[in-house]
Amino acid sequence: MMKPKVLLTRGLFADATALFESDFDLEIGNRERMLTRTELLEKAGGKDAIITMLADTVDKAFLNAVPEIKIIANYAVGYNNIDVAACLERNIPVLHTPDVLTDATADAAFALLINVARRIVEAHAYVVEGKFTAWKPDLLLGQGLSGKTVGIIGMGRIGQAFARRCIGFGLNIMYYSRSRLPKEKEAAFGATYAPLEDLLKAADFVSLHVPLTDQTHHMINKKRLDLLKSTAVLINTARGPVIDEAALIEKLKNEEIWGAGLDVYENEPDVPLALRQLKNVVLLPHIGSATEEARFMMAKLLYDGLMAFFSGKVPENLVPEWKRRVESQK
């Protein structure tokens, strides 16, 4: 039996790549960089499946150009780069990687919170640059966490994992989410639900954990940024376009908020020079899920999903839109 032909658009680390090489006729697009649109279309031709990265856009034009594709596996939990509606029309299942990167991303969000509040990166640079000549009572004063209020926007798996980390540091938890948690879960977190605008006004720290949709694009715009306290810290490990980046830069530049910790950007990998020049930000290169364990399990989920599909079974890691279709056909 011939192995399914699979395109992996960007090379993974050895153990993860080996998973797919064992059971698929695998082609790796490029090990060092993302494929251009032209390269992606060329290499996807004749393939049964494609394993995409967040920077790979799968839209109607792409699907029209490569009609042989039977399934798409996205190496991320978010899938805003995939036109799922177009895939549903063409009966092309879409896989993603939920659950396995929850703790890694929550860790990264909390690390950003501590680093910005306590000015850790700034302090590191201060020492490295030879500026530490004596202890001073007011040297690099930061903000304490205990007793402060954190506002969590998006209380799904990652938002809840972030909340658990906040409990240990004595933070009071407010949250806003599309769906309110059951009362017993709110009680377990000691969390208070609040409308978005009320949360932004009250919170000392705000952390974003929402998917990128038409509704969440620029959810944090200038008007809402204006609601934040001057001492507020904004953390984003979700998706860059959830924040109006230009408006945020102005707030930070004018020191109208304390600071921000960002792992994602509006037009990544482009990070504006104006943002990079600011001292009141901590910037990461989209490494929220970058632990060996999480990144391997992401690959394993996609491998298992592809194996199930090509064995005539229903993959467990279909995106929600596809899961609803499968359920409706039972």
CATH 3.40.50.12780 corresponds to the domain 102-283: no
If pLDDT is split at 50, 70 and 90, which confidence band does 330 have? Answer: confident
Active site residue 239: yes
pLDDT, tens digit, 9 for 90 and up, residues 241-283: 999 999 999 999 999 999 999 999 999 999 999 999 999 999 9
Tell me the C-alpha distance between 191 and 175, whole Å.
7
Provide the pLDDT for residue 60.
Answer: 97
Tell which residue, 196, 197, 152, has the closest CA to residue 171.
152
**Got the DSSP string for 200-229?**
HHH-SEEEE-----TTTTTSB-HHHHTTS-
Provide the pLDDT for residue 32.
Answer: 86
Catalytic residue among 119, 165, 286, 295: 286
pLDDT, tens digit, 9 for 90 and up, residues 166-214: 999 999 999 999 999 999 999 999 999 999 999 999 999 999 999 999 9
DSSP state of 34: P
Catalytic residue among 27, 122, 256, 268: 268
CATH of domain 5-100+292-328: 3.40.50.720
Tell which residue, 36, 35, 82, has the closest CA to residue 63.
82
Question: Can you tell me the mean pLDDT for 130-137?
Answer: 96
Does residue 40 register a pLDDT over 90? yes
Question: Can you tell me the mean pLDDT for 54-63?
Answer: 96
Report the percentage of the chain scoring pLDDT > 90: 95
Catalytic residue among 209, 239, 266, 295: 239
pLDDT, tens digit, 9 for 90 and up, residues 59-103: 999 999 999 999 999 999 999 999 999 999 999 999 999 999 999
Does residue 16 register a pLDDT over 80? yes
Provide the pLDDT for residue 1.
Answer: 67
DSSP state of 282: E
Contact 248, 259 (CB under 8 A): no
- Mean pLDDT over all residues of the chain? 96
Query: Could you state, in order of their start, the residue ranges of all structural domains in the chain?
Result: 5-100+292-328, 102-283
With vertex at residue 237, the alpha carbon angle to CA 38 and CA 174, rounded to the nearest 5 degrees, is 145
Tell me the C-alpha distance between 234 and 148, whole Å.
14
For the sheet containing 259-262, what is the strand order?
A: 191-193, 172-176, 149-153, 205-208, 233-236, 259-262, 281-283
Provide the pLDDT for residue 100.
Answer: 94
pTM of the model: 0.91
Alpha-carbon distances of 169 from 81, 118, 161, 200, 320, rounded to whole Å: 36, 14, 14, 20, 34
Active site residue 184: no
If pLDDT is split at 50, 70 and 90, which confidence band does 329 have? Answer: confident
If pLDDT is split at 50, 70 and 90, which confidence band does 228 have? Answer: very high
Active site residue 286: yes
